[in-house]
Amino acid sequence: MPEILVVHRPWPPLVAVRVFVGGGAALDPVGKEGQTLLGWLSALRGTKSKDRLQLQGAIDAIAAQVDVAVDKSGAWLTASVAAERLEPLVQLLAEIVSQPRFDPSEVHAQRDELIADLRHMQDDDGALADDALSRYLFRGQAVGRPSQGTELSLATIRSEDLAGWHARQITASNLRIGFAGAIDLKRATELVSAAFGALSSKSGPKIVHERAVVSGRRLLLVDKPKRTQTQIALALSTVGAQNKDLPALLVANAVFGGPFSARLSRDVRQLRGWAYHTEATLTLGAVSSTWIATLGTGTADAVAALELTVKLWEELGRHGVTPAELRFVKDWLLGAHRLTLETAAAELGYQMRGRALGLELNEITQLPAKIAAVDLKTVQRVLKERCQLEHLVGVMVGPSKLLAAKVAESLTQFAIEELPADGAPELTTGSGRAVTSKPLPSAASPTTAQEPEEADPDEVDDGADLDSAP
């Protein structure tokens, strides 16, 4: 029997369903990257008893909505429906999960859509930066290969490949099913038993947990000619979601790049106008996480913005946070967290993300209390121990002809490599430069020594919340 999670809220009379299937894109065979994504999207195009139109008609008949997403660790099927129509929805989900048709014509059509998406991504510089960063950080590892595949890899995947892949994926032990809304655990168990009870009890595929590889400081300059804007991503590797230092890291991240009043937004965006977007996030993994700063800048200001971001991060690592910052971001994090749990579906998603990271339910629910208990001494210790700023990887997506000379002159602490937009970051030399950056001139120094004004929580962005946490 799959693991079952329930978040019970009797009103409104709606139920959201989440089905997690472990494995994910990290298990795609070499040369067939994109297989997991293609497989699950194709599963929505027909089952053994229903073709695409019949399946969509059955979903429409109960006024439901079914979507699928794939990441490195697994696939997520999400659906919602009125409570009185829940049983047929669960039956349809079981059919999609356990009995996909993989009709060759539908697989071909879905492959064409994915290839079109890949071509569109070439015009999405932010997505290119994220993709290049991930592929470089996890180079040589399964999780470093592109989840969405490549045109070449997708072209090699046939419907019979998907049938074999599916047979290895679908076991009761590899599924986790969650319900949120007007349903209790007893009813959820009955529905799952009836719909998914025939699943094999054999062991599922082994989940892949790998660590980012960061050595020294390295900058990849991905060439997009004629761009007036440049997208930047800068990252370091740190501890995983199961580490006791996670709450303090979440606090430190919020000080660095959470709300509008955070240091990154204040010093790069507001005081200097060098960026129209700044954010810092912790992308969590079970055994290691990636701390990432992202910026959207005008090309003329890109190098200065990146250099200042490095300095701000160094300042945070050396001197920590102020008491006023600590008080403010803890209130902000906890307030934003409550907003993310406003609906039953959101609370269920939060719990299921935590379980996918290997956390027990009690560990997931205790995280807010642990954040509230974080003190100044703990944040300072964690920053010194877990923020290894001598090992940084950066990606800039912009016109290398305009950026290369400035980058070489200003960012001397980085080993720099230029790549075409369709280049392979994972195949670069990989070596970084172990050089400590020079201090900022006093006129451009971050203002971290000052006590920040206590911002009104109603006037700061609450978009950066615990959604990236379990």
Q: What is the pLDDT along the chain (470 residues), one digit of tens a residue?
A: 899 999 999 999 999 999 999 988 888 999 999 999 999 999 999 999 999 999 999 999 999 999 999 998 899 999 999 999 999 999 999 999 999 999 999 999 999 999 999 988 888 899 889 989 988 988 888 888 888 999 999 999 999 999 999 988 888 989 999 999 999 999 999 999 999 988 887 777 777 667 788 888 999 999 999 899 999 999 999 999 999 999 999 999 999 999 999 999 999 999 999 999 999 999 998 888 999 999 999 999 999 999 999 999 999 999 999 999 999 999 999 998 888 888 999 999 999 999 998 899 999 999 999 999 999 999 999 999 998 899 999 999 999 999 999 999 999 989 998 988 877 777 665 555 544 434 344 333 444 434 444 444 333 333 333 444 43
Taking a C-beta distance cutoff of 8 angstroms, is the pair 83, 14 a contact? Answer: yes
Backbone angles phi, psi at 393, to 5 degrees: -120, 130
- Give the residue from 27, 28, 24, 23 showing the smallest Cα distance to 153: 28
Q: Distance from CA of residue 246 to its chain's centroid? A: 16
**What is the distance between the alpha carbons of residues 458 and 336, in angstroms, rounded to a whole number?**
11
- In the chain, the domains with their CATH numbers are 3-196 (3.30.830.10), 217-468 (3.30.830.10)
Q: What are phi and psi of 444, to 5 degrees?
A: -110, 10
Beta bridge partners of 236: 291
Phi, psi at 211, each rounded to 5°: -105, 145
